[in-house]
Amino acid sequence: MKRLLFLIGFLIALVACKKDYYGDPPDDFGPPIIKLSGSAMRVDSTVWYTFSGVGSHDSDGHWGIIKFRWDINGDGVWETPFTGKTDYVHVYRETGFHTVILEIADRFDQRNKDSLVFETYGPNSDTSHFTDPRDGQVYRTVMISGLEWMAENLNYGSFIPVTDTSRDNSLVEKYSFNDNPDLQGEFGGYYTYYDWMEMMNHDTTSIQGICPPGWELPTRKDWEDIVNHRRGLDYFAQGGLSNLHLSRMLLQPKLQEWYWYDISKGIVDWTYFTREFYTGYLNGPDKIIPYIVSSLKSSHYLADRGNIYAMPYFNDTIKKHFAIAPVRCIKRD
């Protein structure tokens, strides 16, 4: 009998505690604290976007008892009921700006709400073609940030072996991956490389360099302006929605063995020369040190997946006349 009375008393106390735990909140118990984040603020319309409420909690700092519900179109229609799932994944096929709303509730059904706005973008359709009058080769072009860019690597000149050094003569000389001119790929000179001085037509003050008449070599700022147009390496790389089709390859040390990884379609990283340089110490004083632009943060390939970096051409193993890179040309209005 005593055991039965003890059990009944225990159950009554448990129900009372539960009622107090989920009943009316204490006077000093505020609404839950919400934290809403997204995987990026700008994505293309093929990317699965992840929203997260991780970090949300009640006034006591407890997070495990918070419930979440999502309105992924900002239209007041909740795509989910309240659940314990902190994340929501969705792909927006339509381009433009979108609003997502997260509402959370604590154990007392006190609520808090937050929203974020982000952009999705589709293919860049402002494309055209251009014929190089010097050899009749046709290049795809694309307008980005007010400039007309070649959407293919320059493929002008005569091939020379990678063991040779390009010379200051009347010929434009270029290199090919593995010394194989047949590996051109779909996008013009996809596997075509030039030495920096050859790209400049052996004139460090040149603007046109070896580009076709009316075209010029881009500066660091020209490349950086692309970032302000759209971010993301896949967007710019071959097959990306920008239609710029930057080669998925790295700066190639000329005397280093070629590797399949240098042209792997799994790479989104790319590296190009600019026409700019500075003078500094490189195996001697007052040497010309060109700048390159790269999706990589440094010459040690520390990737930053949202920016283009201008960096000195300073690595002792990747120095003037010992590294080659693809070339793009631009045309200003």
The pLDDT of residue 266: 52
Average pLDDT of every residue of the chain: 78
pLDDT band at 17, cuts 50/70/90? very low
pLDDT band at 313, cuts 50/70/90? low
Closest C-alpha to 86, from 111, 110, 55, 117: 55
Range ranked top by mean pLDDT from 98-107, 158-167, 227-236: 98-107
Fold of 27-121: Immunoglobulin-like (2.60.40)
Cα distances (Å, whole numbers) of residue 85 to 33, 68, 70, 80, 82: 16, 6, 10, 10, 9
The pLDDT of residue 3: 58
The pLDDT of residue 277: 84
Break the chain into its structural domains and give their ranges.
Answer: 27-121, 127-331
Range ranked top by mean pLDDT from 24-38, 195-209, 237-251, 297-311: 195-209
Strands 192-193 and 173-176: antiparallel
- The residue among 252 and 37 whose pLDDT is bigger is 37
- Which residue pairs, CB below 8 angstroms and at least 24 apart, start in 262-268? 262/177, 263/177, 263/191, 265/238, 267/237, 268/233, 268/234, 268/237, 268/295
pLDDT band at 7, cuts 50/70/90? low
- The residue among 188 and 288 whose pLDDT is bigger is 288
pLDDT band at 2, cuts 50/70/90? low
Residue 160 has pLDDT above 70, yes or no: yes
Residue 327 has pLDDT above 60, yes or no: yes
- The residue among 139 and 11 whose pLDDT is bigger is 139
Closest C-alpha to 95, from 235, 223, 224, 226: 235
The pLDDT of residue 320: 46
Residue 291 has pLDDT above 90, yes or no: no
Q: Looking at residue 322, what DSSP letter applies?
A: S
Report d(CA 152, CA 187) in Å as an integer. Answer: 5
pLDDT in tens, 176-198: 877 777 766 555 677 788 988 99
